[in-house]
Amino acid sequence: MNKVYYLKSCSTCIRILKELELPKNVVLQNIKTEAITEIQIDEMKRLAASYEGLFSKRATLYKQRDLKNKSLTETDYKNLILEHYTFLSRPVFIIDHKIYIGNSKQNVEAVKIALNEN
């Protein structure tokens, strides 16, 4: 199943989704109203190779909690993402069992290519 984890209130996520014109077989999950499950985050980690790779160090809570000055483990990253949606680097696309994390220009281009290969 092809899926996108995004935040409906994030203007960057919405812009990217409009730009991509996703096919109907892509399932959208607004992570604010439908929380990420442990099964979902474990699947993302399996594809990404680490929880840290899924973690947003630009999140406001990251700064508020002064997490940059703490030594976080993989378990910490997982638990923080499960605790609050803002810690997931977004959007996250899973297309044909490959994961694309974040909103960088090269990531969005890679998603476009992957969608066109379907």
Domain ranges of the chain: 2-117
Confidence of residue 88 (pLDDT cuts 50, 70, 90): very high
* Strands ordered across the beta sheet of 26-30: 26-30, 2-6, 92-95, 98-101
Cα separation, 53 vs 89, whole angstroms? 8
To the question of pTM greater than 0.85 for the whole model, the response is yes
State the pairing for strand pair 2-6/26-30: parallel
| pLDDT exceeds cutoff 90 at 116 | no
Q: What CATH number matches the domain at 2-117, 3.20.20.70, 2.60.40.10, 3.40.30.10, 3.40.50.300?
A: 3.40.30.10
| pLDDT exceeds cutoff 90 at 82 | yes
For the stretch 50-71, pLDDT in tens is 999 999 999 999 999 999 999 9
| pLDDT exceeds cutoff 80 at 118 | no
